[in-house]
Amino acid sequence: MSGWATDLAMWWTQTYTSRLPADERERRCAEVRSDLWEQDAHAATVAQRPSATRLDVLGRVLLGVPADGGTWPSPRWSPWC
């Protein structure tokens, strides 16, 4: 996958889902991992430069933070996962 950008996306996903119930956290992480894989596969198909793919992923992470942050204040959260 796209190196540091993928690592950042997965770190962020794990961070904002860290207090969700395990099944929801695992489902969301799997969705993001799949989406990142599909993006890399598409980039390879169209011969996109790896640096361009990393920038695309970074942009998606930064633009998605406000939406993802909306899932944080949940009464179901527990400090212990």
pLDDT, greater one: 71 or 73: 71
What is the maximum alpha-carbon separation in the chain?
45
What is the pLDDT, as a whole number, of residue 72?
Answer: 53
**pLDDT tens-digit map of 4-49:** 999 999 999 999 898 889 999 999 999 999 999 999 999 999 999 9
pLDDT band at 78, cuts 50/70/90?
very low
Q: Mean pLDDT throughout 54-76? A: 77
Does the structure show a pLDDT above 70 at 77? no
**CA 39 to CA 14: how far, in whole Å?**
19
Q: DSSP characters for 10-38?
A: HHHHHHHTTTS-HHHHHHHHHHHHHHHHH
What is the pLDDT, as a whole number, of residue 81?
Answer: 41
The residues spanned by each domain of the chain are 3-62
